[in-house]
Chain A
Amino acid sequence: MHLSNFKLHLKLAARNLRRQPNRTIALGGAVAFSALVMTLISGFVGGMDKAIQDNVTLYSGGHILISGYTPSWSGRLQNRFIDDEIAKTVESVIPDVRTVSPLAQARATVVFGTREIQLTLRGVDWTKDELYHDSLILSSGDWEALNEQDRSMLMSSQTADRFGLAIGDQVVVRLTTASGQQNVTDYAVSAIYDDAASGGMTTAFVSFGDLIADLNMKANEQQQIAIFLKDSTDAERAAKAIAEALTEKGYSIASGTSGSEQASQRRMNSEKAVYSISTVQELAGEIGSALGSIRWIGYAVFILMLLVSATGIANSYQMVLLERTKEIGMLRCIGFKKKDVFASFIFEGILLAGAAAFAGIICALPIGLGISFIPFDPHGDFGAALVKGHLRFAPTLDQLLIILVFIMIVAIVAVFLPARKAAEVVPVEALRITA
């Protein structure tokens, strides 16, 4: 199409839209509302995905986890291993890694007075930790106390409230050692973190060295290696590279979240340690499946909104066609070609839908941000999808462009039939009918 024609059609489309402001506002409003709903849904679903990944990183302790299982005297695989080479391999394979730190954890029963609760107890090397220092908000106590005091515990505010615990209180911890024996130890509560700010997490944290001792493991043993990357989206690629490097060095790797299960299956026919590698995306995928229904509802609303917009636009332009039959006849008489009539309708549809969708997207942004200030229960069903007890609104530019383009495509499809009919109008016949 020639540039002058393009400008002419654009001008004509704009003029036509201004001719019937009420109809334009009504139709544009409907399209803008569709774009607004689509933006809100995609923004919140995207935000929930990101929140789940962040919270899973907190729950699991890193973006990539390497767990080691060593066969015991009876052939049973125990979650423990001694190998400094793995950490060195990780650092050589991923040069831009933030931290590579040992991790140990146990399912423990914490007893205070006559009350008891089961929770995950994680051993963290506080001197190497960046993740928890950056992510957890302490409601009481401080990090120095955790570093300096022996057998100190960082506990969630939910657990502390349930027990009526305060800083300095002693709790009894009952756990099973790496080999399966019962053990009981004491810890003092040194700090309490705000679990509402961490997706309702109830994990309690202690020093890595203390937990290793409780698990009856040697000082140089570990259960997992937690790898914290600069960018969590690199986790899958990095995990693959680590698995390949370790396999090349002769390690037995069972990759994926079911790695521990695969490792367990090898209990009788493996004489050397078996390792499993899991990433935050895999773990988030398991939790994120709970969000599947929300995502599908989002898609359904997205399609429904597009259909509603398409129907509205198509109906309106059928009416426009009837109204402008005489005008089209006259335009054809003064030299307008069929394709020009067709193009003027299509341009009008694109201009209307594009402008309305843009306005809808712009309106959605403050509304989404406003909703993200509403507090939700972090211990509820979707606690893992919240950030500090709030929904995260995180639409990406890609998502917004997709919404804009989709609405414009739908507008073209919806206007196509009326535009073709308009192009097919016989000038003399049109003038005769409307005379």
Chain B
Amino acid sequence: MLRFYEKRTWFFSSKSIRDISLVLLGFVIVMCAQAQGGPPPGGPKGGGGPMAGIGLPLGFLEADKDYKFPDDITKYTANDFLMLVRRTDIRSSFYNSDMNATITTVNVSPTRGTFVTKEQIFRRDKDDAFLMLTLEPESRKGQGMLRVDNNMWRYDPTSRKFTHTTLKDTYENTTVTNNDFRRWQRSIDYSVEKLSVGTLGNYKVIIGELKANNDEVPFPYIKMYIEADRKIVLKVEEYSLSMKLLRTAYYTQYVQIGDSFVPTVQIFQDGLVPEKRSQVTYTNISTKSLPDYYFTKEYLERVSQ
């Protein structure tokens, strides 16, 4: 009779367990890469590859590449328009590189008068991350805002405190929201309800009425005016749940940088107080790679001093 420590076990040997573990690990790595849109070709670089993207649905960037849009704007279907919105989302963003720019905002308010702010923004659209530092006015110099991993903080160098903020919050009580500094992803958040054709100034546009896909999108309804020829957004109206116009955004100037079309002049007009408006101008746009530590609270704290 065998003693208890002499009993033979019929489990896998340690070598087999190691081999199985390696196979499982490889499987997990492949699945993770798939979920993230796959590794960038040529290995990781500063700005990441074209297929990466946090918070983007699978195939978001790939499906756009070969999509054939109708030549006649009256022939657009809901799916065509949604793909057009996706095209504008992708082209206004920087998935192949990082981006930094200077933003000058001129705000007009019936109660506060006219005031100007200047910020430096650093964006990594593939990770949906951005860092913004206030340069002007002098009284607010050093204040910052950081979005990373679906969290958003505002930093005040005077109190040295981070406070949690959200994308839907307005920036300094103006008509600009925190969401306006982020990458566009309307094609993810909305579905098409109604389409029509019209003109906006001298441009022929397709007008799409969109409804939010879920109840956590800040604006439940939007109306987009997209110029089909250049495939750029000219105007967006944002509506409340009760269908009242909350804000109108005009994208009056675009600049092409690589594959991206950046709306460099954006005008936001309040729907409830029409006299309240803001003009946001992007200058000194650069697509230079940014170090990873730029998108950390430690860096924001350090650079704000």
In the complex, the answer to whether A181 meets B275 with C-beta atoms within 8 Å is: no
Interface size of A by Cβ–Cβ distance < 8 Å?
20
CB distance from A176 to the nearest CB of B (A): 7
In the complex, the answer to whether B272 meets A172 with C-beta atoms within 8 Å is: yes
In whole angstroms, how far apart are the Cα atoms of A180 and B240 in the complex? 11
Would you give the 0/1 interface string for A159-203, flagging 1 where the beta carbon is closer than 8 Å to chain B? Answer: 000000000000010101101111111000000000000000000
CB distance from B229 to the nearest CB of A (A): 32
In the complex, the answer to whether B272 meets A183 with C-beta atoms within 8 Å is: no
- B contact residues around A114 at 8 Å (CB): 110-111, 273, 275-276
A174-B240, A216-B215 given; A180·B168 CB < 8 A:
yes
Q: Does A72 contact B (CB under 8 A)?
A: yes
Q: Does A379 contact B (CB under 8 A)?
A: no
In whole angstroms, how far apart are the Cα atoms of A216 and B219 in the complex? 13
- A contact residues around B215 at 8 Å (CB): 72, 177, 179-181, 216
- A contact residues around B218 at 8 Å (CB): 176, 180-182
CB distance from A352 to the nearest CB of B (A): 53
In the complex, the answer to whether A181 meets B220 with C-beta atoms within 8 Å is: yes
Interface centre among B212, B218, B240 (most CB of A within 10 A): B240
CB distance from B132 to the nearest CB of A (A): 21
B26-85: which have CB < 8 Å to A?
Answer: none
In whole angstroms, how far apart are the Cα atoms of A114 and B272 in the complex? 8
B196-229: which have CB < 8 Å to A?
Answer: 212, 214-220
In whole angstroms, how far apart are the Cα atoms of A184 and B110 in the complex? 20
CB distance from A287 to the nearest CB of B (A): 19
Of the residues A72, A111, A172, A174, contact of B216 by C-beta under 8 Å: A72
CB distance from B267 to the nearest CB of A (A): 18
- B contact residues around A111 at 8 Å (CB): 272-273
CB distance from A362 to the nearest CB of B (A): 48
Q: Does A115 contact B (CB under 8 A)?
A: yes
Q: Does B194 contact A (CB under 8 A)?
A: no
In the complex, the answer to whether A76 meets B216 with C-beta atoms within 8 Å is: yes
B92-111: which have CB < 8 Å to A?
Answer: 110-111
Would you give the 0/1 interface string for B239-251, flagging 1 where the beta carbon is closer than 8 Å to chain A? Answer: 0111010100000
In the complex, the answer to whether B216 meets A179 with C-beta atoms within 8 Å is: yes
Q: Does A74 contact B (CB under 8 A)?
A: yes
In the complex, the answer to whether A176 meets B168 with C-beta atoms within 8 Å is: yes
Q: Does A73 contact B (CB under 8 A)?
A: yes
In the complex, the answer to whether A185 meets B242 with C-beta atoms within 8 Å is: yes
In the complex, the answer to whether B273 meets A182 with C-beta atoms within 8 Å is: no
Q: Does A116 contact B (CB under 8 A)?
A: yes
- B contact residues around A72 at 8 Å (CB): 215-216
In the complex, the answer to whether A184 meets B272 with C-beta atoms within 8 Å is: yes
- A contact residues around B216 at 8 Å (CB): 72, 74, 76, 179-181
CB distance from B142 to the nearest CB of A (A): 25
In the complex, the answer to whether A182 meets B241 with C-beta atoms within 8 Å is: yes
B233-274: which have CB < 8 Å to A?
Answer: 238, 240-242, 244, 246, 272-273
In the complex, the answer to whether A116 meets B214 with C-beta atoms within 8 Å is: no
In whole angstroms, how far apart are the Cα atoms of A300 and B110 in the complex? 49
Interface centre among B110, B166, B215, B220 (most CB of A within 10 A): B215
Closest to B247 in A: A182
Of the residues B110, B111, B246, B275, contact of A182 by C-beta under 8 Å: B246
- B contact residues around A172 at 8 Å (CB): 244, 272
Of the residues B110, B219, B244, contact of A181 by C-beta under 8 Å: B219
- A contact residues around B219 at 8 Å (CB): 181-182
Of the residues B166, B241, B273, B276, contact of A183 by C-beta under 8 Å: B241
CB distance from B188 to the nearest CB of A (A): 13
- B contact residues around A174 at 8 Å (CB): 240, 246, 272
Closest to A180 in B: B216
Interface centre among B166, B218, B273 (most CB of A within 10 A): B273
Of the residues A73, A76, A115, A177, contact of B110 by C-beta under 8 Å: A115
Would you give the 0/1 interface string for B159-203, flagging 1 where the beta carbon is closer than 8 Å to chain A? Answer: 000000010100000000000000000000000000000000000
In whole angstroms, how far apart are the Cα atoms of A72 and B238 in the complex? 24
CB distance from B134 to the nearest CB of A (A): 21
CB distance from B196 to the nearest CB of A (A): 24
In whole angstroms, how far apart are the Cα atoms of A116 and B214 in the complex? 29
In the complex, the answer to whether A184 meets B214 with C-beta atoms within 8 Å is: no
Of the residues B217, B242, B276, contact of A184 by C-beta under 8 Å: B242
In the complex, the answer to whether A183 meets B240 with C-beta atoms within 8 Å is: yes
In the complex, the answer to whether A182 meets B168 with C-beta atoms within 8 Å is: yes
- A contact residues around B110 at 8 Å (CB): 114-115
A116-B111, A172-B272 given; A183·B242 CB < 8 A:
yes
- B contact residues around A179 at 8 Å (CB): 215-216
If A177-B241, A181-B241, A182-B220 are given as contacts, then 8 extra A-B residue pairs at C-beta distance below 8 Å, sorted by A number, are A114-B276, A115-B111, A116-B272, A174-B240, A180-B166, A181-B219, A181-B220, A183-B241
- Could you list 10 examples of A-B contacts with CB < 8 Å? A72-B216, A111-B273, A114-B111, A114-B273, A174-B240, A177-B241, A182-B241, A183-B241, A184-B244, A184-B246
Give the top 10 A-B pairs by smallest Cβ distance, nearest first.
A184-B244, A179-B215, A114-B110, A184-B240, A183-B241, A111-B272, A182-B240, A183-B240, A180-B216, A181-B220
